[in-house]
Amino acid sequence: MSPELKTLKAEGLLEIIDATGRRDIWAKKSIDRTLRIGKYLCDEYGLRPDGRPDPSAKRKTKQK
């Protein structure tokens, strides 16, 4: 399990809906489908919809 999946699961945004052998199938919880927070997180952290880093995304600089 990747650190990203662990974090999203801990935040209550993902759940395992099926498991076949050593492969888990993840799905968004209803709260994420309702609020669409997944899109916001992808934009905020430069991720693709599958949760992997998007190399073409522009990085936001954090102000101190």
Q: How far apart, in Å, do the first and last CA atoms of the chain sit?
A: 33
What is the pLDDT at residue 38? 78
3-class secondary-structure state, position 40: helix
Domain boundaries, the chain: 3-45
What is the pLDDT at residue 64? 55
What is the pLDDT at residue 41? 79
Encoded tokens for 3: 């650190």
Q: d(Cα 41, Cα 25) in Å, to the nearest integer?
A: 20
Per-residue pLDDT tens digits for 2-61 = 787 788 788 888 888 888 888 888 888 888 778 888 788 788 888 887 777 888 876 555
| 4-58-7 Cα angle (round to 5) | 10
Encoded tokens for 8: 């999203």
